[in-house]
Amino acid sequence: MTRSKGFGLFDLMVTLVIASMLVTLAVPAYDRFISRAKIAKAIGDIGSLSIAIEQFRLNNQDRIPDSLDELAVDIPLDPWGRPYAFLNIRAAGSGKGAFRKDGKLNPLNSDFDLYSRGRDGDSKGPLSAKASRDDIVRANDGAFIGLGQDY
């Protein structure tokens, strides 16, 4: 009798178990990597748009644009495919309730709000709200740009 060379059922099952374990570990790690990359892109976009707004202010006697469309740059969508939110606080006046606020309900900025609604696409005024924890925000008049939960 000749013995055939090849994989047996046991060898195939061991291989499938190892492959499934690797996939189980790799997919969540890949998702976290993609999420961090999208957050980093949003932070970079908000920083670039903030610079474009400051250049606009320098060229227009300290006037902040009423919308991002007034800027002489291409306005990207956030990494989740939605437009960035912008509010000229000076033009809106002090009674406007749409200002972004921290956990103590203090306004994040005194000049303008610029943020992404994050992965879930939802946002509420205070950063302490669950819907705002994943937002990418500009705070302290540009001194902080990052996740709402980190501010």
Check which CATH number belongs to the domain holding 137 and give it: 3.30.700
Q: What is the pLDDT of residue 4?
A: 65
Series of mean pLDDT values for 10-residue runs along the chain (151 residues) = 73 92 92 95 96 95 93 93 91 67 83 92 84 91 91 87
Contact 125, 100 (CB under 8 A): yes
> Does a structural domain hold residue 31?
yes
Helix (H, G, I), strand (E, B) or coil at 24: helix
Q: What is the pLDDT of residue 125?
A: 75
- Residue 93 is assigned to a structural domain of this protein: yes
Could you tell me if residue 140 is inside a domain? yes
- 17-25 contact pairs (CB < 8 A, 24+): none
Domain holding 20, by residue range, is 9-150
Examine residue 20 and state whether it is found in any structural domain, yes or no: yes
- Find residue 115's DSSP bridge partners: 85, 137
Residue 4, domain member (yes or no) = no
In a domain, 41, yes or no: yes
Q: For position 85, what pLDDT does the model report?
A: 92
Residue 3 lies in a domain: no
Assigned domain for 107 exists = yes
Rounded Cα distance between 145 and 137, Å, is 6
Domain total in the chain: 1
pLDDT at 89: 86
Q: Are 51 and 112 in contact (CB under 8 A)?
A: no
Whether 137 contacts 107, CB under 8 Å? no
